[in-house]
Amino acid sequence: MRLTILYLITGVLVIGFFLLEMNPFQRQAAPPPTTETKTEQMSTENEFSDQKVAEFPLLEKQSQKLDQIREERKKQMEGIVPDRIEIPAIDVDATVQPKGELENGEMEVPADDHITGWYEPGYEPGSAGSSVIAGHVDSKKGPAVFFYLTDLEEGDEVYITDKDGKKLTFVVKEMHAYPAENAPIRQIFGASDKAVLNLITCTGTFDHERQTHPDRLVVTTELKQDKPKLPQAPTEVKKSTNALSWHAVRDEDIVGYRIYKLNGEKRELVTSVAAFERKNISIDNQDATYAVTAVDMDEQESEMNEMK
Amino acid sequence: MKMKKLLAPALGLALVFPAVGVQAEEAPTVTTPAADLRANLDHLLSEHYTLAVESMMKTYDGAPDAAAAQAALEQNGEDMTPAIASIYGEEAAQQFEDIFTPHNMYTDDLAKAVKDGDEEAEAKAEQEVEDFANEFGSFLATATEGNLPEEAAIEAVQAHEDYVQDTFDAYVEGDYKSAYSDYLKGFDNIFDISKALSGAITAQSPDKFENTAVDTQAADLRSAMNKLAAEHFALAEMSLAKGAMGAEDYDFVTWAEDQNTADFKAAIASVYGDEGADQFEQIWTTDHINAQGDLASAVANEDQEGIDAAKSRLENDFASKFGEFLGTATEGNLPADAAKDAIMQHENSVIMTFEQHVAGDYEQSYQTYRDGYALMFTIGQTLSDAIVKQNPDMFAGQNMPEAMPNTGLGDGNDHTASIIWVTSAGLFVVGSGFLIQRKANKLK
């Protein structure tokens, strides 16, 4: 998807005119990211208070273990304090400075139009939530750091590095231009389940009277993460006289197994067995072919393993 | 090479009893004084083994029933003393007790040392266990007047201790596959020891045992049934407890149970053919092993309906179906009703042990465990008796294999390879081999 944007005109740009919208945002001031993580953790626990993932009941200690895994995953989603931004697609390689707000409530942007500003009171890039980096589109002297932001396309990558060299990759998901006064501030700066980084610059015909561009371009990117691996399929799927057995998949995030009766291309779910149960079930049809899959805490199902 | 030493008493027996033919004229029976001795040793020694392993695991885990497990282990040791006294007199029994009793502490010390990461204490306990093997081996050699040669005796005791320790070490390392493979091998090993030991004792005092032999085919069958039944009981309790608490090694205990089922099936097949064995397996697993699994899951899940349903399957459905199966298979030599009652009693003891455990009444639970374990040897006797009565021709004489045994059953590090003659189940299969064809269609 490519955004068609109005031509750009020179002018110093301040990411402003969020003034009115800034105020409500301030009232529900973004808590520090760590606190936010805890809050979300609790809500996750509540979701699992019935101790089930998909159709699989969980033992309490199993449930605690899964919470622990979730916590670890969250930790891995810990954000970084951005120091540098690189966008190879549009040849951007610039410094990032932490910025707060101006007295009028606008997000502050570096005076130097070749460096960018990260909204420090909000989220850190890489943590769950929408972080924001803003940069000028142009100045009286010509194009500024985010001049070509509008040329980005879905799938382009953005690299954010902190002072220690830890690098995160974000991928462009979508781009929107909003009138400065009507931008969805909460969506751009607020909480999210995902690790979002919004890049903001100005767009629209420069309004000489107001000394600003009328619109804001928001490029929404998301943290690029390794696709969660599918669970391994259970092995040693065997049929005896009247029972089907298999070996457990020894991963802590496995919540159970699904047993299918195969009929040509079709497969019919016979039963589900929770991870803590015996991996051996009685079967009624001795001539049928059966297969077993493993299911993990994200409800991902493995490939099928047919009985031998 | 070393095998010869353990074979010696067995060969000696053959010399002591040249009149095999005389014995064969009488109907073969599983209840001779020698077979009884062997069965008693099967019972006491294998119970010692299961409790020793359990106790070490529980001590290491810091389980609330660790003390009760250790107490049960010590009670088992106390039960051995009168058995020794009846053969060798009070003085020897006292000597036995002095050597045997402390060794049950050493294994506990070892588990505690590993738990605490106290390497010095661990080394000390290991040394004590080794010293015990030497001392106890010497004791057995002396008591049997060399019918069980000292070196072979020490090696047999050491092999047993190695199995206990290997099982425990693998358990501690979280290598459950090795832990339960070793556990099964160690269980097998015990029955070889009881055979060798009872053989030495009877060879030493033939008159005391009315000149009967421990290694008749009937006695072998009884011991094989003892082993399968007792192993089933021990694993059943272990898997119920582990399943209910969602233990990490649960799947491996159930794997061990499946091995027991396969061994049992093979034994049944050797007498009643494949079709009979299939029927056996179907009944054995459906409302029994799998119902047991459901019971453990239901307790873990606090699902009272599930608990009741699983118990009913075990106590009613399984007892009826398996009782009927045994009645039919043995052609009434074991009447279906009697079989059903025995199985019901067994299931009661399994469930009661488990429920007392769940309720936290650990001492009582181990008491029930010990009664339930003993019951398996009554069942082993009753079942083997029925099979022998049904097939007297088959169990007429002493075993005389046609070929030397395959003693390379383990890997190169498997200490018992040198002392295993033939595994008890293996003997059973060899002994009953020629029955297969005749009985193959019996259950149709």
pLDDT digits (tens, 9 = 90+) for A230-283: 999 999 999 888 889 999 999 999 999 999 999 888 999 999 999 999 999 988
Answer whether residue A39 shows pLDDT above 60: no
- Contact residues, B window 157-186, toward A, CB-based 8 Å cutoff: none
Are residues B66 and B198 both part of a single domain? Answer: yes
* Residue in B closest to A61 by C-alpha: B246
Tell me how far apart the alpha carbons of residues A243 and A139 are, in angstroms, rounded to a whole number. Answer: 76
Whole-number percent of chain B with pLDDT over 70: 83
pLDDT of residue A102: 87
- Residue A289 makes CB contacts below 8 A (sequence gap 6+) with A261, A262, A306, A307
A153 burial via Cβ count (<10 Å: 0-12, 13-18, 19+): exposed
The tens digit of pLDDT for each residue in B270-318 reads 999 999 999 999 999 999 999 999 999 999 988 999 999 999 999 999 9
**Over residues A117-142, mean pLDDT:** 91
Please write the tens of the pLDDT for every residue from B129-175.
999 999 999 999 999 999 999 999 999 999 999 999 999 999 999 99
User: Using 50, 70 and 90 to split pLDDT, how confident is the model at B404?
Assistant: low
Alpha helices in chain A (DSSP H): 19-27, 33-47, 60-76, 185-189
Are B103 and B136 in contact, with CB atoms under 8 Å apart? Answer: yes
CA B317, B319, B323, B325 torsion-angle sign:
positive
| Residue B57 covered by a domain | yes
Same domain assignment for residues B339 and B250: yes
- The pLDDT value given to residue A23: 40
Residues from A contacting B (CB-CB < 8 Å) are: 57, 59, 61-62, 240-243, 245, 247-248, 274, 276-282
Show which of B150, B179, B211 is a domain's final residue: B211
- The yes-or-no verdict on residue B264 having pLDDT over 50 is yes
Asked if residue B227 and residue B187 are part of one domain, the reply reads no
End-to-end CA distance of chain B: 47
CB–CB of B285 and A274 under 8 A?
Answer: no
pLDDT of residue A5: 42
Please tell me the predicted confidence (pLDDT) of residue B138.
94
- B148 in the same domain as B230: no
Residues pairing with A171 in the sheet: A157, A222
Among B187, B211, B235, residue at a domain's last position: B211
- CA–CA distance, A249 with A275 (Å, rounded to integer): 9
Residue B23 domain-assigned (yes or no): no
Average pLDDT over residues A216-221: 94
In sequence order, what DSSP letters do the residues of A6-60 get, joined into one string? PPP------S---HHHHHHHHHT-PPPHHHHHHHHHHHHHHHTTT-EETTEE--H
Residue A103: pLDDT band (50, 70, 90) is confident
What part of B 279-338 touches A (C-beta under 8 Å)? 281-282, 285-286, 289-290, 292-294, 296-297, 300-301
Asked if residue B197 belongs to a domain, the reply is yes
**Stretch A56-71: mean pLDDT, rounded?**
89
Q: Is residue B261 part of a domain?
A: yes
Instruction: Return d(Cα B119, Cα B127) in angstroms, integer.
Output: 12
Q: What Rg do the C-alpha atoms of chain B give, in angstroms? A: 21
- In Å, how far is A76's CA from the nearest CA of chain B? 26
Q: Is B29 helix (H, G, I), strand (E, B) or coil?
A: coil
Per CB-CB distance under 8 Å, the chain A contacts of B282 are 241-242
Residue B22 maps to a domain: no
Determine the pLDDT at residue B214.
93
Is A136 noted as a catalytic residue in this protein? Answer: yes
Which of A114, A136, A208, A213 is catalytic? The answer is A136
Indicate the fold that domain A235-306 takes in CATH. Immunoglobulin-like (2.60.40)
Q: Are residues B162 and B239 in the same domain?
A: no
Which member of A176, A202, A208, A247 is catalytic? A202
Query: Is the model more confident about A262 or about A39?
Result: A262
Domain-wise residue ranges, chain A? 19-36+77-223, 235-306
Per-residue pLDDT, A131 = 94
B265 and B279 inside one domain: yes
Question: Which structure tokens are listed for B160?
Answer: 């047993």
Give the per-residue pLDDT at B185.
96
Q: For the residues B80-89, what does the mean pLDDT come to?
A: 92
Structure confidence by residue, pLDDT tens digits, B176-192: 999 999 999 999 999 99
- Mutation target to probe the B interface, by most B beta carbons within 10 A, among A55, A60, A66, A278 is A278
Instruction: Give the pLDDT of residue B405.
Output: 57
Residue B190 lies in a domain: yes
By Cβ distance, the residue of A57, A240, A278 closest to B293 is A278
Do B320 and B259 belong together in one domain?
Answer: yes
Give the pLDDT confidence score for residue A307 in this predicted structure.
85
Stretch B380-402: mean pLDDT, rounded? Answer: 81
CB–CB contacts below 8 A, A to B: 55
Q: What pLDDT is attached to residue A206?
A: 76
State how far residue B11 is from chain A, nearest Cα, in angstroms: 41
* Predicted pLDDT of residue B93: 93
- Residue B406: the pLDDT is 57
Mean per-residue pLDDT of chain B = 85
Predicted local distance difference test score (pLDDT) of residue A212: 77
Res. A21: pLDDT tops 50: no
* pLDDT at position A118: 95
Residue B209 has pLDDT above 90, yes or no: yes
The CATH class of A19-36+77-223 is: mainly beta
- Residue B249 and residue B127 in one domain: no
Average confidence score pLDDT of chain A: 82
| B273 and B181, same domain (yes or no) | no
A277 and B293 within 8 Å at the Cβ level: the answer is yes
- Average confidence (pLDDT) over B7-28: 42
Give the ipTM: 0.74
Q: Which helix (H) or strand (E) holds A291?
A: strand A289-296
Residue B321 covered by a domain: yes
The verdict on B202 and B121 lying in the same domain is yes
Instruction: Tell me if B132 is assigned to some domain.
Output: yes
B101–chain A Cβ distance below 8 A for any pair: no
Residue B276 shares a structural domain with residue B309: yes
Write the residue in B246, B258, B292 that is nearest to A61 by C-beta: B246
Confidence of residue A121 (pLDDT cuts 50, 70, 90): very high
B342 pLDDT exceeds 70? Answer: yes
Q: B211, B227, B259 — which closes off a domain?
A: B211
| Full residue range of the structural domain in which residue B39 is found | 1-11+30-211
Segment A182-189 long-range contacts (CB within 8 Å, at least 24 positions apart): A183/A18, A183/A21, A183/A216, A183/A218, A185/A18, A185/A21, A185/A22, A185/A24, A185/A25, A186/A24, A186/A25, A187/A130, A188/A130, A188/A132, A188/A218, A189/A25, A189/A30, A189/A119, A189/A122, A189/A130, A189/A132
Is B355 found in the same domain as B234? yes
Residue B407 pLDDT grade (very low, low, confident, very high; cuts 50, 70, 90): low
Count structural domains, chain B: 2
Q: What confidence score (pLDDT) does residue B247 get?
A: 92
Q: Mean of the pLDDT values across residues A124-139?
A: 91
